[in-house]
Amino acid sequence: MSKIAVLGAGSWGTALSMVLVDNGHDVRLWTHREQQAEEINGSHRNDRYLKEIDLPAELVAYTDLERAVHEVDAILVVVPTKAIRQVASQLAKVLHHEVTLIHATKGIDPDSLKRVSEMLEEELPRSLYRELVVLSGPSHAEEVALGQPTTVAVSSRQIEEAEIAQDLFINERFRVYTNPDLVGVELGGALKNIIALGAGISDGLGYGDNAKSALITRGIAEISRLGVSMGASPLTFAGLTGVGDLIVTCTSPHSRNWRAGHLLGKGYAMDDVLEEMGMVVEGVRTTKAAYRLATEQNVELPITMGLYKVLFEDANPKDVVDQLMTRGRRHEMEDLEYGLGGHFSR
């Protein structure tokens, strides 16, 4: 049994805490909101984030970060990307020993253009952890909380740290694979949210399965293009944290990104949509980050660019779809054009 602090009591932090409690660990769920801690400890519910789910009585919520992390073996950070630096700097002040450090947040910071692990590394002294671990994959909190079969991957620069995280989480309903490609695992989870917003918009506009399938497959092509330019392996994007997560997020009404896109496609204004969601929609900020990265690195991301125009330049989604459909002609597989596995003859 390990002592584990989970920082962030939203839907994902709560669902992952349930997995850890199921595995027999002593779990402290930290929230910055007193009322939420009272609800979790008193009625064993976290209804705003996981409706109608009874939490295990062993799960204890804390509002005092220092007490929550006292003598823990591992810390799981799972606050939204926007809060990562703030929570990490609070943690740096109260943590005084080395832990296994895992994060399960999916995003890229649009200001610094850093991945979540990079922000954590910048904010936390190296003496507090060995090598950071990322947990990602196709996993709606609502299904994990119900104990439905789920698979994810953990990645770290050191296999030992990834295996420690694998051991903490794995059980017969929550299968955890290891993957050495930390950059790819992190980017797949972050960038799929952009495409999920697009898939929601497409559904909201009334377009059908053909359009959504196009978004998923051309989406993974552009995720891979940007990912490879940032040092990821293209193979990772064919796995759980790439196409796996893209499918789950683009096709499910559980997805906040899909739902937000759906409302945008129906004509609601962005501010109203975000207020209606009441939970984090990571794809919005990540679209800004990917737009900047693509511009800086000269990588072609047509769907992301189109979505940026809809989200931040008030473009009409239907016009953006028209622009995407009438772009110049292209080969489908860029590498095949150059003879890797096949080539044309005229």
Ligand X SMILES: NC(=O)c1ccc[n+]([C@@H]2O[C@H](COP(=O)([O-])OP(=O)(O)OC[C@H]3O[C@@H](n4cnc5c(N)ncnc54)[C@H](O)[C@@H]3O)[C@@H](O)[C@H]2O)c1
Query: Is 51 a residue of the active site?
Result: no
For residue 181, the minimal CB distance to ligand G3P (Å) is 18
Choose the binding region for ligand X from 11-19, 21-29, 200-208, 216-224 (rule: CB under 6 A).
11-19
Question: Is residue 258 a known part of a binding site?
Answer: no
- Under DSSP, is residue 176 helix (H, G, I), strand (E, B) or coil? strand
Q: Using the rule CB under 6 A, is 139 a contact of ligand X?
A: yes
Choosing from 5, 9, 99, 284, the residue that interacts with ligand X (CB under 6 A) is 9
Helix ranges (H only) for the chain are 11-22, 34-43, 65-69, 84-94, 116-123, 141-145, 159-169, 182-205, 209-229, 245-251, 256-265, 270-277, 282-297, 302-312, 317-325, 334-337
- Closer CB to ligand G3P, residue 120 or residue 248? 248
Question: Is residue 288 a known part of a binding site?
Answer: no
Q: What is the DSSP letter of 243?
A: I
Question: What does the per-residue mask of binding to ligand G3P show for 113-142, with x meaning CB under 6 A?
Answer: -------------------------xxx--
Question: Is residue 224 a known part of a binding site?
Answer: no
For the four alpha carbons of 99, 135, 261 and 311, in that order, the dihedral sign comes to positive
- Closer CB to ligand X, residue 31 or residue 211? 31
Q: Are the C-beta atoms of 189 and 115 separated by less than 8 Å?
A: no
Phi, psi of 293 (to 5 degrees): -60, -45
Q: Using the rule CB under 6 A, is 88 a contact of ligand X?
A: no
Question: What does the per-residue mask of binding to ligand X show for 278-307, with x meaning CB under 6 A?
Answer: -xx-x-------------------------
Give the separation between CA 340 and CA 338, rounded to whole angstroms: 6
Could you say which of 3, 51, 82, 192 is catalytic?
Answer: 192
For residue 208, the minimal CB distance to ligand G3P (Å) is 21
Footprint of ligand X on residues 28-87 (CB under 6 A)?
Answer: 31-33, 49, 78-81, 83, 86-87
- Closer CB to ligand X, residue 211 or residue 239? 239
Q: Are the C-beta atoms of 120 and 88 separated by less than 8 Å?
A: yes
Question: Is residue 25 a known part of a binding site?
Answer: no
> Tokens standing for 324?
């995407």
Total residue length of the chain: 346
Choosing from 103, 114, 115, 256, the residue that interacts with ligand G3P (CB under 6 A) is 256
Q: Are the C-beta atoms of 12 and 249 separated by less than 8 Å?
A: no
With CB cut-offs between 5 and 8 Å by kind, which of ligand X, ligand G3P, none does residue 78 bind? Answer: ligand X
Closest listed residue to residue 190, CA positions, set 284, 119, 302: 284
Q: Are the C-beta atoms of 254 and 189 separated by less than 8 Å?
A: no
Site residues for ligand X per CB under 6 A: 8-13, 31-33, 49, 78-81, 83, 86-87, 104-107, 139-141, 279-280, 282
Q: Which residues in this chain contact ligand G3P in the complex, by CB under 6 A?
A: 106, 138-140, 193, 196, 245, 248-249, 255-257, 282
Active-site residue numbers?
Answer: 192
